[in-house]
């Protein structure tokens, strides 16, 4: 039995930091363990231009704990009016790492997103030609499509046609939640990878809906049946280089989650690495943890691997994480994995 492991410092390839008091409150929880993270641009208003992105990056750097080596990797929110030259220049400067596509209306703050792929095709063509990656929230939004089918239908009706039209485009299917998505990614010949969240490896839809409704487990894409969770576990723990961690840690104030129409998002940053060690341990795949958290994503994005290290130690007494954090006047509930966590995580100096 492994009781101690040292892994390369991880990266989070899908993270929401928000802004203002919330940014200040949540950033230390990610910076404690992670070297870099892809920062989602769905602020209100969205982070669209290179100018917006530079200003947001400055606010993140200003909010970092003293001495932190954390690097935010910035993304641009793709709108039907996005300027390809502006994005390409930001990419060339190293300011912008990727572009994010939200189908309009699919998720939190996606109203300014894309209604028709045809209208952003000129931008996507430029991105393909310069190797700039596209991160996609992969769900259709049509009211006729059942919410549990929206990812599968997106693959068939949007993603696959797009990849056939533009095979050179580097695409990350974000936060996949279905066996269908894993099968699609595993069968793809190149330029396609997927991020997987911590919570989708630990919960299925019963956790949200059986025996009472649990708003803190509600996120988008919504967790699916158990068979899908098991397919995600298999993909994440396989060592396959096309799968990597994107926590989608998405803090919302508790009052916004706990209301008649509560918003989507789970705050997992504080205990995510401990949860992942638990998951990989349970599947006898601790030897694949580093590939998933610290290697595959960087390789897909074409970025250097981190030099720092993280030490994971199995301890007898369960690790203690706060149930909630405070952000300004608000509280934000931390993901409850429903099991005791015995993997203690600390950076190695």
Q: Which residues bind ligand NCD (CB under 6 A)?
A: 16, 42, 107-108, 137, 219-220, 248, 250, 264-265
- Under DSSP, is residue 326 helix (H, G, I), strand (E, B) or coil? strand
Binds 209, which of ligand NCD, Zn ion, none (CB < 5 to 8 A, cut-off by type)? none
Nearest C-alpha neighbor of 50 from the set 85, 16, 87? 87
Q: Does 137 bind Zn ion (CB under 5 A)?
A: yes
Count of CB atoms situated within 10 Å of the CB of 61: 13
Under 8 Å between Cβ of 344 and 310: no
Q: Measure the CA–CA gap between 52 and 3, rounded to whole angstroms.
A: 45
Report the nearest approach of ligand NCD to the CB of residue 316 (Å).
Answer: 34
Report the nearest approach of Zn ion to the CB of residue 138 (Å).
Answer: 8
The residue from 11, 151, 248, 290 that contacts Zn ion (CB under 5 A) is: 248
Report the nearest approach of ligand NCD to the CB of residue 344 (Å).
Answer: 27
In the bound state with ligand NCD, the residue whose beta carbon lies nearer, of 18 and 233, is 18
Under 8 Å between Cβ of 309 and 348: yes
Site track 100-129 with Zn ion (rule: CB under 5 A), x = hit: -------x----------------------
| Active-site pick, 248, 283, 287, 340 | 248
Q: Which residue has tokens 């970025």?
A: 303
In the bound state with ligand NCD, the residue whose beta carbon lies nearer, of 286 and 332, is 332
Strands of the chain, DSSP E: 4-8, 11-15, 36-39, 71-77, 96-101, 134-136, 171-173, 192-196, 243-245, 309-314, 324-327, 330-333, 343-348
- Under DSSP, is residue 77 helix (H, G, I), strand (E, B) or coil? strand
Q: Does 272 bind Zn ion (CB under 5 A)?
A: no
Which residue minimizes CB distance to Zn ion? 137
Under 8 Å between Cβ of 15 and 249: yes
Binds 138, which of Zn ion, ligand NCD, none (CB < 5 to 8 A, cut-off by type)? none
Q: Does 197 bind Zn ion (CB under 5 A)?
A: no
Q: Does 12 bind Zn ion (CB under 5 A)?
A: no
Report the nearest approach of ligand NCD to the CB of residue 315 (Å).
Answer: 31
283 is catalytic: no
In the bound state with Zn ion, the residue whose beta carbon lies nearer, of 247 and 274, is 247
Compute the chain's Rg from CA coordinates: 19
* Peptide bond just before 203 cis, omega within 30 deg: no
Report the nearest approach of ligand NCD to the CB of residue 34 (Å).
Answer: 17
In the bound state with ligand NCD, the residue whose beta carbon lies nearer, of 84 and 275, is 275
How many chain residues interact with Zn ion (CB under 5 A)?
3
Under 8 Å between Cβ of 235 and 194: yes
In the bound state with ligand NCD, the residue whose beta carbon lies nearer, of 9 and 42, is 42
Report the nearest approach of ligand NCD to the CB of residue 53 (Å).
Answer: 17
Binds 42, which of ligand NCD, Zn ion, none (CB < 5 to 8 A, cut-off by type)? ligand NCD
Q: Measure the CA–CA gap between 113 and 301, rounded to whole angstroms.
A: 23
Binds 12, which of Zn ion, ligand NCD, none (CB < 5 to 8 A, cut-off by type)? none
Under 8 Å between Cβ of 175 and 197: yes
In the bound state with ligand NCD, the residue whose beta carbon lies nearer, of 266 and 286, is 266
In the bound state with Zn ion, the residue whose beta carbon lies nearer, of 248 and 254, is 248
Report the nearest approach of ligand NCD to the CB of residue 292 (Å).
Answer: 19
In angstroms, the Cα distances linking 260 to 154, 215, 256, 257, 317 are: 28, 10, 9, 9, 38
Count of CB atoms situated within 10 Å of the CB of 68: 15
Q: Measure the CA–CA gap between 159 and 151, rounded to whole angstroms.
A: 10
Strands 309-314 and 4-8: antiparallel
By the criterion CB under 5 A, which residues form the site for Zn ion? 107, 137, 248
Active site members: 248
């Amino acid at each position: 039995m492994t009781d101690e492991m040292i892994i390369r410092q991880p990266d989070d390839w899908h993270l929401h930091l928000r802004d203002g008091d919330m940014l200040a409150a949540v950033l230390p929880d990610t910076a404690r363990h992670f070297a870099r993270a892809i920062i989602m641009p769905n602020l209100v208003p969205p982070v669209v231009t290179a100018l917006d992105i530079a200003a947001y990056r400055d606010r993140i750097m200003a909010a970092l704990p003293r001495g932190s080596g954390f690097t935010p990797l910035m993304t641009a929110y793709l709108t039907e009016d996005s300027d390809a030259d502006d994005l390409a220049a930001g990419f060339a400067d190293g300011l912008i790492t990727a572009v994010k596509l939200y189908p309009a209306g699919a998720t939190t703050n996606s109203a300014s997103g894309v209604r028709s792929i045809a209208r952003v095709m000129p931008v996507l063509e430029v991105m393909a030609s310069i190797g700039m990656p596209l991160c996609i929230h992969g769900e259709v939004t049509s009211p006729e499509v059942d919410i549990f089918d929206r990812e599968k239908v997106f693959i068939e009706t949007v993603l696959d046609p797009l990849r056939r039209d533009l095979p050179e485009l580097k695409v990350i299917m974000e936060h996949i939640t279905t066996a269908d998505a894993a099968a699609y990614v595993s069968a793809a010949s190149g330029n396609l990878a997927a991020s997987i969240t911590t919570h989708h490896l630990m919960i299925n839809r019963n956790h949200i809906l059986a025996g009472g409704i649990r708003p803190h487990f509600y996120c988008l894409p919504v967790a699916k049946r158990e068979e899908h969770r098991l397919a995600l576990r298999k993909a994440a723990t396989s060592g396959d280089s096309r799968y990597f961690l994107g926590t989608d840690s998405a803090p919302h104030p508790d009052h916004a989650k706990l209301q008649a129409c509560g918003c989507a998002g789970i705050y997992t940053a504080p205990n995510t690495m401990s949860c992942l060690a638990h998951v990989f341990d349970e599947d006898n795949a601790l030897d694949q943890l580093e590939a998933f958290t610290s290697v595959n994503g960087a390789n897909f994005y074409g970025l250097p691997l981190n030099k720092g290290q993280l030490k994971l130690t199995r301890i007898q007494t369960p690790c203690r994480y706060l149930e909630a954090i405070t952000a300004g006047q608000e509280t934000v509930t931390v993901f409850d994995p429903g099991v005791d966590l015995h993997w203690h995580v600390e950076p190695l100096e």
